[in-house]
Every structure is written in C-alpha cells, then in structure tokens.
C-alpha cells in the first residue's frame, strides 16, 4: 500500500481538502469526547488522544427510523434507499474499525439490512493508530493491534512531528486525491518509524486473555456454577452492551398512533431481564447468570460459529465502564480454569 | 485505621452461623484500583474481604436485586443476608426498612466507619493505566497511593468523592456489628445546590439540555440505585408507555426528571448514580436539589433515623400542603 | 429490485373466526394482500411464520396456520396475550393489517413423503400444526396416513374443532381428541395429551411425529415418543421465542448459535438436543 507523510500543522488543511464530504471526528463536548459531525474544521476541537469515544453509532445509530406511516394502508416512507451523504469518520481506532468488519456479515447475510448497508458503503474510515493504549486494552488477544489497518481505508500514525499515512484501500486512495499538496512522499526512515511506534504501543498493553479454542471450550462449561458466581454482582444495566463496538442487538418499537407515526429500531441489551420476556410471562433467560452466560457465549462461540469472527475486538470498554467490575478477561480465564480442573 | 482485619474476623464469625446464607462485601477487583462487590458463602472465604477508600459501591443495592435479596427469597426461607455498609450506604437500609422493602430481621448489618472514599474517575485520571500492585490508604489528611512501584501522598480533598466532602455523619445509622470509630463529618449546607439555584433558568435549561443529550439510557443509574427497586419500572413499561424507547433529549429529560421525583424524600445521597454514569452526567445535582427542597418544606432527611416513616407515605398536620394528593 | 426486509406488506382482514373465549381468547384471522403482486414475494411453506402487525402498535410473530395449498389468503390463529395481540383482537373484518415474511425453516414435508404423519397438539399449539394437516390432506396420495392427536384443558379451549370433527366424519384423517378433565357433553377421551399418546400407542414404523403445545406438554410428549420407540429424527417440534426483526439480526430469539426466527422455528428432536438449555 502507499505510504505518505502529513505534517501535523497541516492537519486542518488536510481535513478541509477531503472535499464535499460529511466529516465525523472525535470532538470535545461538555466533558466528554464523542464522534460528532464537524461543520467547521477550524472551530471544532478535534481530540486525537482520546480512547473512549465510540463511532458505532455512525453505521448503527442508537435510534433509527425504519419507516414512517400516515393513515394506515397509505404506504410507508423510509429513508432507506435515499443515499446518505458520503461520510468520512476521522480518528477511528483500529479496534473500532475492525468492529465494523465483524458486524458486516451479520447485517448483510440472508436478508440484507439496507440501513446499515447504505451507511457502510458511503462511509470512509480514516483511522488513528494508538500510541497510548490504556489498561483496559487487550486487542492483541483477539488478533488485533494498535497499528492494524484491518477494516480501515486510511491509517494515520503519530510518529512525532508528522503522521505516517497509509492508504489501505482504493476507497481511501480516491478520498485522498484532493489532498496532494499536504501529503508528501515518505522517506524510508519515516516508514520504519511506524513500526517502532506500534512496537512501543504493544509493549504498553499489559492485559491479555488466552482465547485458543475458546469457542469450543465455552459450551463445555454451560452448566457450570461459575456463571452464577460471576453474575452475582451484575446489576443488569446496558453499559457493557451499549459501549461495545460489536454489540448489535436491537428492539423495534412503534411510536405515534395508528393514524400517524413511525417504526423505529433502538439499541437493546441482552443483559436486561425483559430482553427475552414473552408476553405470557415466560422468560427463557430469567436470571442474570443465564444472561451473562449468553452474552459471553454469543461473543466467543455463537457469533464466531455463525459469522466467522470473534464478537470482540479487545477494546475493553465493558471492563472499564462496568460499575461492578465484571471483567470478561477474568471470566474467560475462569472458563479455562474450570475446563482444566 | 485499617478496617480490613477486624472486618474479616467479624465476617468469619457471621458466615459460620447457621442462619446466615451469605455475606455481601467488597473484594479486590480484577485490575488497577478496582474493587468488586462479592457474595461470600463460607467462613474460609472471609479473607477475600477488603475495606479501603476504594470501596465506593453501595452494596445495599443487592438486597433488592434478584437472586440475592430477601425480596427474591422463597417464602419460608429462614436464611439471613449479611451486608457490609458505610454510613451513607446504611441510610438506604433505613429507607428500605421504612418502606418495608426489606425485612430488618433478615439482614445482618456490618457497619464500617469510613473516612471517605475516592472519586474513582479523579483517581484514575491522576494515576492512569494502573494494572497491578495498587493500593490506596487513608493516613490522616492524605491518601497514600501505591502506583507503579511508588507511593505518592495526595491531600485527601484532591481525591475524595464529592459526597464525602459534604458528609453529614460517619456512623452507620443501623448496624448489628460495628468496625472502627466514626470521625467528624464536614456537614452539608447544600452549598452546591445554592450555587446552581443562583443560575438563571436559561442557563440551567441549556446546561441540562447538553447533559441529557449525552444520556444513552443504559439504565445504570436506575439499576445501581438501592432505592429504585420497583419490579415493574414505570419508566420502562410498554403498556401503558410513559417514556418512548427512542433515545433523545426529550425522552431522556422525562426519564431523569421522573426518576428524580420518584426518589424525592427517599434518595440518600450515596451518589452511586453519578459514579456509574458512563457519560459523566452530574445526576446528583437533580437529586440534591430535591433533597434541599424536601428539607426546607418538610424538615425531613431520608434515612437518618431508622425509626422514621417514609415521607410521602405520611401526612402530618404541619405539612405545607393542605391535603394528600 | 432489492427489498427492505423491515417494510411489511399491506393486507386486509377478510374473515374472523372466534375459536375460544375467556381471558385469553383465540381468533383465526383470514387475511388477503391488498396488492396481488405481493404473492410473488410471499411464497411460503408449512411451518413458516410471519410478523403480523398494526403500524403504530407493533408486530408479533405468528405461525401461518393455513397451508400454501389454500391459495389467495393466509390464516393466523392468534391468542390475545399482550399489547400487539390485544390490538389485533380489536380489529374487524375489512380492517387493515400488515404482514411481513415468510420467515423460518418449514417442516420438511418433501422428506416426509410416503410416511405416516402423526400430529400431537395442545391448546393453541394446534395452530402451527394445521398447515401440515391441510397440506397433507391436499396432497393425500403423497402420504401414507394422517393421525391427529389434539387436546386442551376443556372442550371450549379446543381450536378448529369444527374442522377436526369434519375430518373425522369424512374419514380423511384419524382424529383423536382429548380434554384434561371430564366436561358435560364431552364423549371423547379424557386425559392429558402425553398420557393419551401412550394410550394410543402409535407405532414408530415409517412415522413422523410433530408436536406443538405448552412447554410442559412438549416435554412429556417428547419423552413418551422416545419411550414408544421413535428416533430423534422422527420427532419434530416448533419453538417460539420473543422476536422482533424476524431475520436473525436483532439478537432477541437466539438459542445458542441458532436463531428461532431464521434457523427455526421447526426443529427435529435431534437438532433440539444440540441446543443449550436456554429456551
């Protein structure tokens, strides 16, 4: 792939040179960093050293209108098929970019999901390699890396005064056509600089989990007591699910009245007790241990079995944000202990 | 004073009793400064217990969660649940008792006198990316933080949780066993509430508009709250539906305002809602404003007197309202 | 033209039949698509389901209880349970309704050719079995025999009673009805369905048994079928679960790595045994 150099002081110019696109980047807002649309590059405070913001909502918004209706029988209005604007997500982390690759087969298999598909096809991912992984990161355990280009169209790596820029895909190449003035040839030593930076990053990642054969091992502990023990502190909120870049469960609800309204889909979490609750009152997963077990197995056995990808990219947000320290590294380590007993 | 040793001794004794099913306490977490709630069943597990300024959780929440709490117990189940509480946590017990949310006879309360817990977000920002060999100990006016092989002294007020800096009382209001002695609490004059009350309506509106836009309706605030324990939460129901499932400012506003009012006269200022919020929304501002109003209108503070009745379940002739609505 | 799987088809209610009364009444809806071209996109097989709904209220996954050999319409037997089904029960003939589907794996009726078919139903569980019955009756020469074992709590809880009595009278199928307890005017068998199954002692030879009903009934029926000598591949059932998207994406209906909406709802006992105990 092509490699070029972008001087840091030219970053804003670079972003403006991307042309008539909708730019989404991590911006500081009210004490938090979030991926939001940037109207004015010079006015926005784009944050590149943040590791918390998640861009999952760009492809899979938390609330999405499937269609609206007026006077039953008069047809349904949907945004699907209306071609969303070309969007560039700038500053996305390699783990979050990989997450979209993990989600792709689910939304495209069998009956294709047009809402996800359209956004996915019209979005270009310009990544930001991780130079300061945090104590929740464990991407190497799931085959990732702070400098991975998997799932990205372009990857920027901070190598000091410049960004090392890798043009990974044709989509990325097409995007950068207008940026020739700020993208300079990369001399050999700068190319190597990325490897060193990534090497230093990898050394900072201190948490890991052995996932060898995990998708086969997990079903073996389905009946074990360990799930009860692990789930005892769970409060059944949606923090882990909503912040997870590969979690994709949703609910469908109708709003309005039968005269006029809309049908929406919203994020849902399998950790909520009502997730599987039947109208009759029956619940196949009535307690927290069943729900925690299902979530773990879904990520590490069911999803890999069905989609060919582990349903986890090692970002560790679930570990950091869980109010009661439920830690999937701890859980999977325990699974292996139980099997070895 | 290190509460860990005496706490373990008491726990060992209590877990040896025939009538106690389990003990809910704190144990070392899986990484860094994290501490985790734990449910112990055997006396030889007692050495897992810890008590330090990192023990931020209000464990009374578990008494009203499924599978552990007395509410979830089968009829005729005689087993008791032992629980470790700080003074702030214990106020939740008092409110639960007043509401008959728990059966006092079924709970063995181990009160621990704490000098305050840390604000984990502040601590982890100051000492980032800790993985192992961490500890935080209170020594008089400072926290000794063991981090990356070194011990750093930090003045207590730089790391203390905001709620501890306005703590009214360090002695648990209800307990069967007590560890430690309470030190003097700074007291609460609702200074923070007065400050926000002084702002204009426009300022307050704009602030809360931007805060509530961040909310992702994960319901962690509701689920961690020991006093939110309705088995069929009004804010979650579909039939009738009071709050739509769509996540936007309007629905979020309705959710948080309604929940704050449902907690008026009941919220005991443990601050857990704010601690767990992944979006850093200052939820306690809402609850404390209502707490100040409750104090001024009804001269009532929830949870400080275990014998007191629930405020909005009782009508007194001297109440400012003319009748019960 | 690529279609949006979340947009339902518009339909209208052509007929309503009250099957049972009580706290949870059951009504059979006969529904026709407003646009006849919809049939080009809606070709279904017995065992499949569809999302039946009302925009503004919601959708509910219901088994199609008519056979594709009954052309030009779809039938759904719906028990009033929650928000959506209550709203459906308030509809009248001529009202609009939406249908989305068909979803799921059908009964492998091709594989069952020349075999003896035995359906074992309980309560509303008879509804997903009805398409098998109607299909077999419309293709009578392809199947060796049809035995229908059906029971409910009481005579007034039996659905499709009129039809079943008709089959019995015209001898197009052998019908064995039962109710849990004695009831005035009831002259057929009295006893639970799993027990009646044992009493009837069907031979497993060249037979396929399909069962659907309350979970507790299914549990004992499966046990008894095995005791009677049926192999795991000769026994079929259909599962239900809370569903929303119907296309295996929203994650609600999974049992292990299998989605009931897309990989089910029809499962052989052999397949069922491989699933984790999460349903």
Q: Which domains does chain C have, with CATH numbers?
A: 9-103 (2.40.30.10), 116-238 (3.40.50.80)
pLDDT digit string, tens, across residues A302-337: 999 999 999 999 999 999 999 999 999 999 999 999
pLDDT of residue A2: 87
Position B323 scores a pLDDT of 65
Higher per-residue pLDDT: B233 or C149: C149
Mean predicted confidence (pLDDT) in C26-31: 96
For C:239-278, CB contacts with A below 8 A are 240-242, 244-245, 247-257, 262, 276-278
**Residue-level pLDDT at B101:** 85
Average pLDDT over residues B282-306: 94
B52 pLDDT band, cuts 50/70/90, is very high
Does the pLDDT of residue C267 top 90, yes or no?
yes
pLDDT tens sequence across C120-138: 999 999 999 999 999 999 9
d(CA A161, CA A190): 11
Say what the pLDDT of residue B75 is: 52
CB C76 within 8 A of CB C31: yes
Confidence of residue B69 (pLDDT cuts 50, 70, 90): very low
Segment B170-229, tens digit of pLDDT: 999 999 999 999 999 999 889 999 999 999 999 999 999 999 999 999 999 999 999 999
pLDDT for residue B66: 64
- How far is Cα B173 from Cα B92, in angstroms, rounded to an integer? 10
CA A268 – CA C256 distance, rounded (Å) = 18
Radius of gyration of chain C, Cα coordinates, nearest whole angstrom: 18
Distance from CA of C85 to the nearest CA of B (A): 12
pLDDT digits (tens, 9 = 90+) for B253-287: 999 999 999 999 999 999 999 999 999 999 999 99
Q: Which residues pair with B138 in a beta bridge?
A: B143
Q: Which residues of A touch B66 (CB under 8 A)?
A: 273, 287-288
Residues on A contacting B at a C-beta cutoff of 8 Å: 29-32, 34, 62-63, 134-135, 204, 206-207, 229, 232-233, 235-239, 242-243, 251, 253, 255, 264, 266-267, 269, 272-274, 287-289, 319, 321, 323-325, 327, 329-330
**Average of pLDDT values for A214-241?**
94
Q: What is the pLDDT of residue A75?
A: 74
Average pLDDT of the residues in A51-56: 91
The nearest alpha carbon in chain A to B206 belongs to: A30
* C6 pLDDT more than 60: yes
A232 shares contact with chain C (CB less than 8 Å): no
Give the sheet arrangement for strand C145-152, strand by strand. C189-190, C174-179, C145-152, C116-122, C207-212, C235-238, C266-268
Asked if A297 lies within 8 A of C256 by C-beta distance, the reply is yes
pLDDT at C134: 96
Closest CA to C175 of C135, C138, C121, C221: C121
pLDDT at B76 over 70: no
Query: ipTM, 2 decimals?
Result: 0.93
State how far residue C253 is from chain A, nearest Cα, in angstroms. Answer: 7
By CB atoms closer than 10 A (0-12, 13-18, 19+), residue B67 is middle
Contact between B278 and A272 using a beta-carbon 8 Å cutoff? no
**pLDDT of amino acid C1:** 39
Confidence at residue A72, expressed as pLDDT on a 0 to 100 scale: 60
Query: Residue B71 CB: number of other CB atoms within 10 A?
Result: 16
Query: Is the pLDDT reported for residue B238 higher than 90?
Result: no
pLDDT for the residue numbered A83: 81
DSSP-derived pairing of the beta strands C174-179 and C189-190: parallel
Q: What is the pLDDT of residues A110-122, one digit of tens each?
A: 899 999 999 999 9
Q: Percent of chain A having pLDDT more than 70?
A: 99
Instruction: Report the percentage of chain C scoring pLDDT > 90.
Output: 92
Whole-angstrom distance, CA of residue B122 vs CA of residue B143: 13
Q: Which residues of chain A make contact with B32, given a CB cutoff of 8 A? A: 135
Tokens read off for C57: 């209220």
Residue range C195-242, pLDDT digits in tens: 999 999 999 999 999 999 998 999 999 999 999 999 999 999 999 899
The whole-number pLDDT of residue B325 equals 58
Q: Considering the entire predicted model, what is its pTM?
A: 0.94
Q: pLDDT digits over A77-87, tens only? A: 787 777 889 99
Residue-level pLDDT at B285: 96
CB A285 within 8 A of CB A92: no
Q: Which uninterrupted H or E stretch holds A126?
A: strand A123-128
List, for residues A104-155, the tens digit of each pLDDT value: 999 998 899 999 999 999 999 999 999 999 999 999 999 999 999 999 999 9
Radius of gyration (C-alpha) of chain A in whole angstroms: 22
At how many degrees (to 10) do helices B201-214 and B249-263 cross? 110
The predicted model gives C98-127 an average pLDDT of 96
Which residue among A63, A235, A329 places its CB closest to the CB of B30?
A: A329
How far apart, in whole angstroms, are the C-alpha atoms of residue A299 and residue C111? Answer: 35
| Rounded average pLDDT over A265-286 | 90
Q: Which conformational region is residue C248 in: left (phi greater than 0), alpha (psi within -120 to 50 degrees), or beta?
A: left
Q: And the tokens for A253?
A: 């609800």
**In sequence order, which residues have a C-beta less than 8 Å from that of residue C240 and are 6 or more positions away?**
A278, C61, C260, C265
Nearest alpha-carbon partner for A275 in A264, A265, A285: A285
pLDDT at residue C235 in the model? 97
The two tokens of residue A291 are 């729900």
**Average pLDDT for chain C:** 94
**Cα-flanking dihedrals φ and ψ of residue B69, to 5°?**
-70, 160
Q: How confident is the model at residue B70 (pLDDT cuts 50, 70, 90)?
A: very low
| DSSP, res A161 | S
Q: Are B240 and B63 in contact (CB under 8 A)?
A: no
pLDDT for C215: 86
> If contacts are CB pairs under 8 Å, which of residues 136-165 in chain C contact chain A?
none
Cα–Cα distance between C96 and C102 in angstroms, integer? 19
Mean pLDDT of the residues in chain A: 93
Torsion of CA B149, B154, B156, B162, to 10 degrees: -80
Q: How far is CA B325 from CA B262, B297, B309, B316, in A?
A: 15, 16, 18, 13
Q: pLDDT-based confidence at A50, cuts 50/70/90?
A: confident
């Amino acid at each position: 792939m092509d490699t070029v150099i972008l001087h840091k002081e030219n970053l804003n110019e670079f972003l403006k040179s991307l042309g008539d696109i909708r730019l989404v980047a991590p911006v500081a807002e009210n004490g938090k960093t979030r991926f939001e649309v940037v109207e004015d590059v010079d006015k926005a405070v784009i944050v590149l050293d943040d590791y918390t913001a998640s861009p999952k909502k760009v492809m899979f918004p938390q609330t999405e209108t499937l269609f609206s209706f007026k006077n039953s029988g008069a047809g349904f209005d949907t945004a699907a098929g209306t071609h969303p604007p070309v969007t560039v997500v700038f500053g996305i982390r390699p783990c979050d970019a990989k997450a979209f690759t993990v989600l792709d087969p689910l939304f495209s298999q069998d009956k294709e999901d047009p809402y996800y598909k359209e956004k996915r096809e019209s979005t270009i991912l310009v990544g930001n390699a991780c130079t300061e992984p945090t104590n929740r990161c464990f991407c190497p355990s799931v085959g990732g890396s702070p400098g991975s280009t998997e799932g990205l169209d372009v990857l920027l790596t901070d190598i000091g005064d410049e960004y090392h820029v890798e043009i990974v895909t044709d989509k990325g190449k097409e995007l950068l056509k207008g940026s020739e003035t700020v993208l300079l040839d990369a001399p050999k030593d700068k190319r190597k600089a990325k490897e060193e930076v990534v090497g230093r990053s990898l050394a900072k990642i201190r948490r890991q989990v052995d996932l060898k054969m995990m998708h086969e091992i997990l079903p073996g502990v389905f009946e074990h007591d360990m799930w009860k023990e692990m789930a005892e502190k769970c409060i059944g909120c949606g923090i882990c699910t909503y912040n997870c870049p590969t979690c994709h469960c949703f609910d469908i609800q109708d709003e309005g009245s039968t005269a006029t309204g809309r049908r929406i889909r919203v994020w849902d979490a399998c950790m909520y007790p009502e997730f599987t609750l039947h109208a009759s009152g029956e619940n196949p997963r009535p307690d927290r241990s069943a729900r925690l077990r299902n979530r773990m197995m879904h990520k590490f056995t069911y999803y890999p079995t069905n989609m060919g990808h582990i349903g986890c990219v090692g970002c560790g947000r679930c570990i950091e944000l869980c109010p009661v320290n439920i830690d999937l590294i701890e859980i999977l380590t325990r699974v292996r202990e139980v099997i070895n007993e | 004073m290190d509460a860990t040793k005496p706490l373990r001794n008491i726990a060992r004794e209590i877990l040896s009793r025939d009538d106690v099913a389990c003990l809910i306490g704190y144990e070392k977490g899986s990484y860094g400064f994290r501490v985790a709630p734990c449910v112990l069943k055997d006396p030889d597990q007692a050495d897992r217990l810890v008590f330090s300024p990192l023990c931020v959780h209000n464990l009374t929440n578990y008494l009203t969660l499924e599978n552990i709490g007395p509410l979830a117990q089968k009829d005729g189940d005689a087993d008791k649940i032992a629980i470790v509480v700080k003074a702030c946590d214990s106020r939740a017990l008092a409110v639960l008792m007043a509401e008959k949310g728990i059966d006092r006879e079924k709970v063995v309360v181990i009160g621990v006198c704490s000098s305050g817990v840390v604000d984990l977000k502040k601590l982890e920002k100051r000492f980032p990316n800790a993985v192992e060999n961490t500890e935080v100990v209170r020594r008089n006016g400072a926290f000794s933080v063991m981090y990356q092989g070194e011990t750093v002294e930090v003045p207590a007020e730089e790391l203390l949780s905001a709620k501890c800096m306005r703590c009214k009382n360090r002695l648990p209001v209800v307990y069967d066993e007590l560890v430690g002695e309470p030190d003097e609490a700074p007291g609460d004059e609702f200074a923070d509430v007065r400050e926000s009350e002084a702002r204009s309506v426009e300022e307050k509106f704009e602030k809360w508009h931007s805060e509530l836009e961040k909310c992702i309706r994960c319901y962690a605030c509701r689920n961690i709250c020991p006093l939110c324990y309705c088995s069929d939460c009004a804010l979650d129901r579909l039939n009738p539906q009071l709050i739509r499932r769509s996540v936007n400012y309007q629905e979020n506003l309705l959710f948080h305002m309604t929940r704050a009012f449902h907690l008026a006269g009941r919220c005991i200022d443990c601050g857990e809602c704010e601690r767990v919020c992944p979006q850093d929304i200052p939820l306690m501002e809402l609850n404390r404003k209502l707490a100040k109003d409750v104090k001024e209108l009804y001269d009532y503070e929830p949870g400080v007197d275990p014998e007191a009745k629930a405020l909005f379940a009782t009508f007194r002739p001297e109440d400012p309202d003319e009748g019960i609505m | 033209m690529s279609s949006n799987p979340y947009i339902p088809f518009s339909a209208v209610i052509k007929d309503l039949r009250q099957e049972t009364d009580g706290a949870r009444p059951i009504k059979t809806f006969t529904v026709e698509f407003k646009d006849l071209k919809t049939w080009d996109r809606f070709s279904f097989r017995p065992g499949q389901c569809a999302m039946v709904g009302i925009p503004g209220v919601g959708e509910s996954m219901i088994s199609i209880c008519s056979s594709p050999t009954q052309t030009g319409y779809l039938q759904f037997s719906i028990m009033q349970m929650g928000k959506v089904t209550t709203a459906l029960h308030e509809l009248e003939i001529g009202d609009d309704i939406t249908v989305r589907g068909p979803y799921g794996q059908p009964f492998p009726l091709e594989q069952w050719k020349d075999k003896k078919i035995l359906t074992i139903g309980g309560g509303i569980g008879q509804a997903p079995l009805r398409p098998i019955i109607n299909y077999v009756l419309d293709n009578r020469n392809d199947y060796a025999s049809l035995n229908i074992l059906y029971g409910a709590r009481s005579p007034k809880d039996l659905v499709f009673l009129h039809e079943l009595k008709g089959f019995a009278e015209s001898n197009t199928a052998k019908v064995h009805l039962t109710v849990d307890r004695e009831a005035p005017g009831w002259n057929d068998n009295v006893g639970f369905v799993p027990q009646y199954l044992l009493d009837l002692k069907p031979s497993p030879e060249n037979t396929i048994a399909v069962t659907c009903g309350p979970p507790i009934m299914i549990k004992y029926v499966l046990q008894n079928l095995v005791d009677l000598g049926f192999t795991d591949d000769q026994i079929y059932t259909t599962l239900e679960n809370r569903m929303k998207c119907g296309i295996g994406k929203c994650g609600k209906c999974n049992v292990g790595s299998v989605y009931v909406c897309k990989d089910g709802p029809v499962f052989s006992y052999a397949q069922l045994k491989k699933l984790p105990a999460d349903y």
